[in-house]
Structure 1
């Protein structure tokens, strides 16, 4: 779960950095540095979600595949499923 938390945060913040760079200065160095970081975080989110959720709702794995915010969506679905099971 910790890996999923970190990767989801990196995925979201790197998307913000990429979009901010695109809307302001469009510096190629920022794009070439943050772009691969974002892509790697995206893949880690998908892989970590597939490892974490065995019994959660089926949409959780598909939510992780949404670029940019998929990790945050998957975490929210996993937390709500955990609260429903324990509560």
Structure 2
């Protein structure tokens, strides 16, 4: 799986868990659901930021977008397009 795809998946999981947490808070507020989704959301957010740092390739915009809670991973995935390598091997 490409790093950009991993970033997209982690961003989708992050957004989905955040939406479920907010829906739970606004409606029935089950503590058990919060206990499960809270750590999953935190892990997805952390995975999004770490993946963005690993694929940024010298572009700070990628990991800065990933820092935005909720939608950061989905914004960073298109910005993480891989650049073609130059002749000297540096990007």
> Is TM-score (shorter-chain normalized) higher than 0.5?
yes
Hey, what does 2:79 align to over in structure 1?
77
TM (normalized to structure 2)? Answer: 0.79
Matched residues in 2 for 1:20 and 1:52: separation?
Answer: 32
User: Whose radius of gyration is greater, 1 or 2?
Assistant: 2
How many residue pairs end up in the alignment?
A: 81
Judge conservation of contact 2:6–2:51 (CA < 8 Å) in 1. Answer: yes
Contact 2:7/2:74 (CA < 8 Å) preserved in 1? Answer: no
Aligned to 1:35: 38
Relative to its length, the structure with more helix (as a share) is: 1
Shift of residue 55, structure 1, vs aligned partner:
3.9
Deviations 1:11-66 (A, max 9, x none): 0100110011011101101101000000000000000011111044x222111011
Question: Which residue in the other structure is 1:17 paired with?
Answer: 20
Instruction: Quote how far apart the aligned CAs of 1:68 are.
Output: 1.1
In structure 2, list runs of 5 or more residues that go unmatched.
Answer: 85-91
Root-mean-square deviation (CA), in Å?
Answer: 1.6
**Is 1:51 equivalent to 2:39 in the alignment?**
no
